[in-house]
Amino acid sequence: MLPVAIFRHSPTEGPGYFAIFLEQHGIPWKLIAIDEGETVPELADGFSGLCFMGGPMSVNDPLPWIEPVCALIRDAVAKNLPVIGHCLGGQLMSKALGGQVTRNPVKEIGWSQAGGEDSAIAKNWLGPFAGRPGTIFQWHGETFSIPSGATRLLANGYCANQMFVLGPHLGMQCHVEMTPEMIATWCEQWADEALSVADQPSAQTPETMLGEITEKLPVMRQLSEQLYSVWIRNLVR
């Protein structure tokens, strides 16, 4: 089977549980470290699917790899090769598919809840989470619009567009790939950012985020496994 290409844009925002899930299902994957200067492939050929991780930059920044990534996403979509994006990755997907990425009304940082839509498409992707709240992890200040033809899966009061699907493609504003180690690293690396908005109901302090791992992570893991299980069904075998 061809590998899933996983694009990393920041050293501490790796694939996390997504890679663990692929390995548990015998699916090979290849890391493409954009943060280390690796080149973006021109075509999606040679991969069974594409995955884009998070990063502290904006898709609107004048970075040399943004447009090549968007072109690669469009190539994969044209070839019906599944694409999945986490946070920045979801924003890249939206931008590539004609959507816009703009400043969100508030920063969302830490554990939160988002309500699942109840459409037929949402029921297929969300399974038992369709029509009810799910636990997710956040760290973003921007938001994407839903591309034309796509369907929103998840929303909450702080960010209307938490997740969308277009055929076999899944774009997420939230981070369902988190591991305890990733959360600890982010809480240390970006503590000042979290503390600067911790007085807002949409954000948490590093102490709170870390203290809720035992309670919240297993609940979110159920959602991530549901989403990833649907996504891998369409991989090129």
pLDDT by residue for the chain (237 residues), tens digit each? 999 999 999 999 999 999 999 999 999 999 999 999 999 999 999 999 999 999 999 999 999 999 999 999 999 999 999 999 999 999 999 999 999 999 999 999 999 999 999 999 999 999 999 999 999 999 999 999 999 999 999 999 999 999 999 999 999 999 999 999 999 999 999 999 999 999 999 999 999 999 999 999 999 999 999 999 999 999 988
Q: Do the beta carbons of residue 205 and residue 216 sit within 8 Å?
A: no
Domain contains 189:
yes
pLDDT at 31: 98
How far, in Å, CA of 118 to CA of 71, rounded?
A: 32
Q: Give pTM, 2 decimals.
A: 0.97
pLDDT at 237: 83
End-to-end CA distance of the chain: 5
Domain contains 11:
yes
Task: Give the dihedral sign, CA 131/137/139/144.
Answer: negative
Domain contains 237:
no
Closest CA to 67 of 95, 99, 102: 95
Sequence letter at residue 141: G
Which residues constitute the domain of residue 88?
4-232
User: What residue has token string 């075998």?
Assistant: 237
Domain contains 171:
yes
Q: Do the beta carbons of residue 135 and residue 118 sit within 8 Å?
A: no
CATH number at residue 224: 3.40.50.880
What is the number of structural domains in the chain? 1
